[in-house]
Amino acid sequence: MMDLRKLRHMLVLSEELNFARAAQRVSLTQSALSRSIQSLEEELGGKLFDRSLHGVVLTTIGLQVAKRARELLLQASNLRHEVEQMQRHELGDICFGVGPIPGATFLPLAMAELVATYPQIKTDVHINNRDNLLTLLLNEKIEFFIADTHNQVLDKRIVTEPVSRQYGSMFCRAGHPLCNVRIIDSAEILAYPLASVHLPEAVKNELRDYFGLAVEQELSLSLTCDNPGLLNYVCQHSDCILLTTFGVIQTELLNGSLVELELPAKPGIYADMGVVRLAGRSLSPSAAWLIDRIAHQSVQHLTTHEILS
């Protein structure tokens, strides 16, 4: 029977390409790690690494074994994960991620419900942009994440489930030179600084078209930040134009500190919220419960027309 520990040792060495660093990661001595690799090579009947004074390099066989080892170790991890869930018969602790927009809109409602309903659960939430969250997910540091899935590259390792679409626009502070002014040409907006979270390429392309920029021209943002609270504050205290969804600034729209620009034509600014998780991985009971409540809260979340009516 294949020893999964040896496969893990081989995979770590394939990542580090250095016996000392790999041995430290797997808590072995270099000699013990070397024996483990040699034993695996003998068991498989092929050389996995070319060794030299400068380190190691994967052989052709080693590359294929490393690919299959990742799959086998993920399956083994899934099996352990599922058995643990069955043995507990209860909700467990949860670690997940959210993008800046869901983190500022429907997530607080769902989290308040989770803490009120299951106060014993320990929850670790990572708020970041989608690319960083995807890295955490693939490294199994989080169980799932919710973020804008615009322009997401197809990847067999993950599964994406749609949650909701949030529409957006451009906003400014009350008293801004463009406040309550009917803008004739979208180029007028570019005379002022633009602020936004990190935008998907699809949204950037939409805005380039809206502003009449050439394909090779970069959409210039004066402030890019994945903290909506910071963006809101800066735009309330400067002439920055804020690109965001209505849900993020519903409080500011209600109290009048931020207002929507009267645009000559509305650009297609929206965020497609989706749940992203590892393919083939069963969700923990707490994750499944929370995702269901997040989906419910997102549906209940006010649209701009409801806010302003």
Q: What does pTM read for this prediction?
A: 0.64
**Which CATH architecture does the domain made up of 94-163+273-308 adopt?**
3-Layer(aba) Sandwich (3.40)
Distance (Å, whole) CA 247 – CA 303 = 7
Contact present, 99 and 272 (Cβ < 8 Å): no
**Which CATH architecture does the domain made up of 4-88 adopt?**
Orthogonal Bundle (1.10)
Distance (Å, whole) CA 12 – CA 21 = 9
Give residue limits of the domains in the chain. Answer: 4-88, 94-163+273-308, 165-271
pLDDT tens, the chain, 309 aa long: 568 899 999 999 999 999 999 999 999 999 999 999 999 999 999 999 998 877 799 999 999 999 999 888 888 887 777 667 545 545 568 899 999 999 998 888 889 988 888 888 889 999 998 889 999 999 999 999 999 887 777 788 999 998 888 888 999 999 999 988 888 888 889 999 999 998 888 888 888 888 888 878 888 899 999 999 999 999 999 999 999 999 899 899 999 999 999 888 877 778 888 999 999 888 888 888 888 888 887 765 544 444 443
Q: Do domains 4-88 and 94-163+273-308 have the same CATH topology?
A: no
CATH of 165-271, one of 3.40.50.300, 1.10.510.10, 3.40.190.10, 3.20.20.105: 3.40.190.10
Helix (H, G, I), strand (E, B) or coil at 148: strand
Spatial neighbors of 249 by CB under 8 A, at least 6 apart, are: 171, 228, 232, 242, 258
